[in-house]
């Protein structure tokens, strides 16, 4: 009984996402990702120094669900990537897909869903999205991120717990040091796998940090 329910849940999840997530990750074997180096690794937390990166971003304001808002934002990115741009071109596949979450109240949050733009599109070569998709390019300067990995599917009922576990570990790592979380109201979920992969999935929770200048983070 329990197994059957689980299967139906999975089947539904699979079906809903198949049209979107799976295709973003298919079509080519060379997956481009933002470049980073690990500068520390402790208590299940990595401090990564990311190089500059550019992201195509889709804002979902006042959403009440991580899963629904991610699908909504992702759908617009998916269209852009598959020809809804002024070049009518298909863009290279990249990973991860990010969802940044900023709480507005106990029920509502702003969500920003992003995919990484390969450095091959630097300069003027980047195809411009159709204006009605409401997408914007975010350029991130080199910065440090604290990262905790988790498996399974990223869902409304587990992401806050992962974020809290990350903050708890950071508090231990930092006890008595001057490093800080830059903005405690915003955190990011990174998803690496298409939805049809039911096992062996990798997700991460990210939060910007500063203060590791001795280790090489920008101040």
Ligand X SMILES: *[C@@H]1O[C@H](CO)[C@@H](O)[C@H](O)[C@H]1NC(C)=O
Binding site for ligand X (CB under 6 A): 87, 89, 95, 100, 103, 106, 124-125, 127, 140-141, 143, 160, 183-186, 188, 192-193, 197, 200-202, 208
If the CB atoms of residues 2 and 129 are measured against ligand X, the closer one turns out to be: 129
Residue 89 C-beta: closest distance to ligand X, Å: 5
If the CB atoms of residues 3 and 29 are measured against ligand X, the closer one turns out to be: 29
Q: How many whole angstroms separate alpha carbon 67 and alpha carbon 65? A: 5
Residue 1 C-beta: closest distance to ligand X, Å: 27
If the CB atoms of residues 42 and 156 are measured against ligand X, the closer one turns out to be: 156
If the CB atoms of residues 26 and 185 are measured against ligand X, the closer one turns out to be: 185
Residue 200 C-beta: closest distance to ligand X, Å: 3
Q: How many whole angstroms separate alpha carbon 186 and alpha carbon 47? A: 17
Query: CB–CB of 58/135 below 8 Å?
Result: yes
Residue 201 C-beta: closest distance to ligand X, Å: 6
Residue 132 C-beta: closest distance to ligand X, Å: 18
Dihedral, CA of residue 152, residue 156, residue 160 and residue 162, to nearest 10:
0
Work out the number of other CB atoms within 10 angstroms of the CB of residue 212. 21
Strand blocks (E) in the chain: 36-42, 45-50, 53-63, 97-103, 109-117, 135-140, 143-150, 180-181, 186-191, 203-210
**Which tokens is 25 given?**
């990750």
- For CA atoms 58, 64, 70, 72, the dihedral sign is negative
Residue 186 C-beta: closest distance to ligand X, Å: 4
Query: Which residue is at the shortest CB distance from ligand X?
Result: 200
Max Cα-Cα span within the chain: 56
If the CB atoms of residues 2 and 116 are measured against ligand X, the closer one turns out to be: 116
Q: How many whole angstroms separate alpha carbon 27 and alpha carbon 78? A: 13
If the CB atoms of residues 76 and 144 are measured against ligand X, the closer one turns out to be: 144
């Amino acid at each position: 009984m329990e197994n059957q329910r689980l299967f139906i849940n999975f089947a539904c999840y699979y079906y809903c996402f198949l049209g979107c997530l799976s295709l973003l990750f298919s079509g080519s074997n060379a997956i481009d990702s933002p470049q980073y180096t690990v500068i520390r690794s402790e208590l299940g937390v990595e401090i990564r120094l990311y190089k500059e990166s550019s992201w195509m971003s889709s804002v979902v304001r006042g959403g009440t669900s991580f899963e629904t808002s991610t699908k909504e934002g992702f759908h617009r990115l998916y269209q852009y990537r598959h020809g809804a741009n002024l070049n009518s071109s298909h863009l290279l596949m990249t990973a991860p897909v990010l969802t940044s979450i900023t709480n507005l109240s106990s029920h509502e949050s702003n969500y920003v869903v992003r995919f990484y733009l390969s450095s091959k599109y630097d300069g003027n070569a980047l195809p411009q999205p159709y204006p009605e998709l409401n997408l914007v390019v975010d350029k991130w300067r080199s910065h440090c991120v604290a990262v905790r990995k988790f498996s399974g599917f990223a869902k409304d009922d587990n992401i806050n717990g992962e974020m809290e576990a990350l903050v708890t570990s950071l508090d231990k790592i930092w006890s008595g040091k001057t490093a800080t979380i830059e903005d405690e109201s915003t955190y990011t979920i990174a998803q690496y796998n298409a939805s049809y992969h039911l096992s062996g999935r990798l997700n991460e929770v990210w939060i910007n940090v500063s203060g590791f200048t001795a280790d090489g983070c920008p101040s």
